[in-house]
Amino acid sequence: MTTTVERKATNVHWHKGDVTREKRAEILGHKGVTLWFTGLSGSGKSTVAVALERALTARGVLSYRLDGDNIRLGINANLGFSAADRQENIRRVGEISRLFADTGIVVLSSFISPYREDREKVRKMHEVGGLPFIEVFVDCPLDEAESRDPKGLYKKARAGEIKGFTGIDDPYEVPTSPELHLHTAEMTLEQEVALIFSTLQERGIIPKD
Ligand SMILES: Nc1ncnc2c1ncn2[C@@H]1O[C@H](COP(=O)(O)OS(=O)(=O)O)[C@@H](OP(=O)(O)O)[C@H]1O
Ligand SMILES: Nc1ncnc2c1ncn2[C@@H]1O[C@H](COP(=O)(O)OP(=O)(O)O)[C@@H](O)[C@H]1O
């Protein structure tokens, strides 16, 4: 098992068990995967993940949401929004996603994850472990996200009350080849959920109806 940071601990060795990923998938009736929702604040990452979680649950598929705000209230409470802290945030949640996906869960990870390199590292850590990883670009023009402003954060950023806000005075690097591209200013939530659902079915991750 590999990691994406230099490991400080020495004399540690991977301990292999004898229950396989395939056996866990057999118990659940579907495979594990990480769906990685990336996009600006207000683009719709959480809204899509919540609706998808509801649809998956209704069909008996075990899913779990990891959401930027929630994770930052707990395990990543010691991280802020500097480039280094965002990088560590994504590294940790990438590792958590990978572990959950390995259990067989459909993981719905919603993080701005503004840096391409950090997202690519998360993709890599899944790929080396033989786990499916689906990057979902939740794409919404900045002016539309700003007009939605569900938490009033753009208003605060424009007023200078929040410094280093993504899209205002902090970067967002758009994905170059995401598996899925949702244009949330043009698509309905139902269309977005249906597209992701059918992708999971076509890839053999969850059963067809
Ligand atoms: N400076 C700054 N920039 C961007 N976002 C900010 C900032 N300060 C607070 N928030 C709130 O934190 C949420 C983003 O957390 P993430 O963990 O997804 O960010 S990151 O991936 O590490 O960039 C983000 O949630 P979403 O709006 O759901 O994206 C905001 O609610
Ligand atoms: N097609 C759509 N898909 C997702 N969200 C949409 C869509 N159209 C409008 N919205 C609205 O945009 C806002 C997105 O907010 P949120 O999901 O919190 O974004 P994020 O998690 O990316 O910060 C919500 O108020 C949601 O109702």
**Token representation of residue 159:** 């007023």
Rounded CA-CA distance 126/205 in Å is 15
Atom of ligand 2 nearest to the CA of 50: 17
Q: Domain spanning 22-202 has what CATH number?
A: 3.40.50.300
Scanning 111-170, the segments in alpha helix (DSSP H) are: 116-128, 142-148, 153-158
Rounded distance between C-alpha atoms, residue 86 and residue 147, angstroms: 25
C-beta 181 within 6 A of ligand 2:
no
Domain limits, the chain? 22-202
What's the pLDDT tens digit per position in 49-99? 999 999 999 999 999 999 999 999 999 999 999 999 999 999 999 999 999
C-alpha span between 192 and 148 (Å, rounded): 18
pLDDT for position 136:
99
CA pair distance 174, 168, nearest whole angstrom: 15
Sheet holding 133-139, edge to edge: 63-67, 106-110, 33-38, 133-139, 180-183
Residue of 37, 38, 40, 47 best suited for mutating to test ligand 2, as the one with most atoms within 8 Å of CB: 47
**Catalytic positions, please?**
113
**pLDDT of 190 over the 90 cut:** yes
191 has pLDDT over 90: yes
- Cα–Cα distance between 132 and 205 in angstroms, integer? 9
Reported as a single tens digit per residue, the pLDDT across 138-184 is 999 999 999 999 999 999 999 999 999 999 999 999 999 999 999 99
Give the tokens for residue 161. 């009350």
Residue 143's pLDDT is 98
Residue 5's pLDDT band, with cuts at 50, 70 and 90, is confident
Phi/psi for 37 (5° steps) reads -90, 120
* 4 pLDDT more than 90: no
ipTM: 0.99
Residue 129, pLDDT above cutoff 90: yes
Summary mean pLDDT of the chain: 96
